[in-house]
Amino acid sequence: MHGKVVAIHSISITAHSLEYRQKLYKKMREAQMMVIACPFAWIDSPRREEQGPTRNSLTPVDELAAAGIPVAIGTDNISDYMLPFSTGNMWEELKLLVTGCRYTDLDNIINVATINGRKKR
């Protein structure tokens, strides 16, 4: 499956230490993986009473891009039960990803929005 695997969401990555994430990114890069971020899918995760480290529930596009792993934008929540007002608007998804990750590499964001999702796997 080398070069043919696409991960979706990848939000749990940020629950791990930077050291672990760097090792993971190396393996993902070697496997020629890519990631499709669906920002609205998890932004509404329910509040929990458990105490623990906080993290951003968005795909870490900034770290993945720096590690050489392509990220594309997508959605899997068009008018579904949990997100009934999601319209599938990719500009809204992209805006949430950029804003939520405080990611300002506009050249790469253009790739996320356009060519990365069309790469053959």
Could you give the CA distance from residue 33 to residue 99 in angstroms, rounded to a whole number?
24
pLDDT of residue 47: 55
pLDDT of residue 50: 65
Could you give the CA distance from residue 112 to residue 117 in angstroms, rounded to a whole number?
7
pLDDT of residue 107: 94
pLDDT of residue 23: 97
pLDDT less than 50: residues of the chain:
none
